[in-house]
Amino acid sequence: MTTESSIPDDDATQPAMVRADLLAGLFFIIVGLAVFYGAWTMDRLEMRRIHPLTVPGLVPGMLSLALVICGSILAFRSIRTPATGGWQQLGGAVFSGAAGRAVAVMVLALIYTLGLVGTLPFWAATGLFVFAFIMLFECWLAEPRRPWLTSLPWALALAVCTAAVVTWVFERAFLVRLP
């Protein structure tokens, strides 16, 4: 007796995802090479007699090489995988709800890092980010949407707790001065 499963097989890869993997692999290769260039051109501090294994660009350089290798593997695998009609389906995937949520995460992260941190105290920026994230993803981008009055107290409490704990951990445990 055979039963049909709603879980797709690993072999049955969607053509749109194959093409998305190709683009992601190329993106990671380009970013990795750019970071490697920056790490390579970073000051080596020879005049201060710094040991070569402790130069500032060593770890970013190694991480960038790992990124290039992983991006190359992803791109090579996607080139070898047949994906009939993948480019047409990729367009539909780019404008899907999941892609919209991914863009919302990126926009919120950019607002937090480039706009809030440094402008507001760290605890306030972190609390505002967590509050906005919860409200956005529970009340507007979730399926089904939750009423905002039920999410408001939860989001507020979680934002206050997260801001307090993260600030305390960085300042007291890691001894990091926060903006």
Taking only the tens place, the pLDDT of each residue in 51-90 is: 777 778 888 999 999 999 999 999 999 888 887 777 777 7
120: helix, strand or coil: strand
Taking only the tens place, the pLDDT of each residue in 91-113 is: 777 777 777 888 899 999 999 99
* SS3 of the chain: helix, strand, coil, percent, to 5: 70, 0, 25
* Domain-wise residue ranges, the chain: 10-93, 96-173
Supply 12's token pair.
């049955």
CA dihedral sign of residues 50, 32, 122, 159: negative
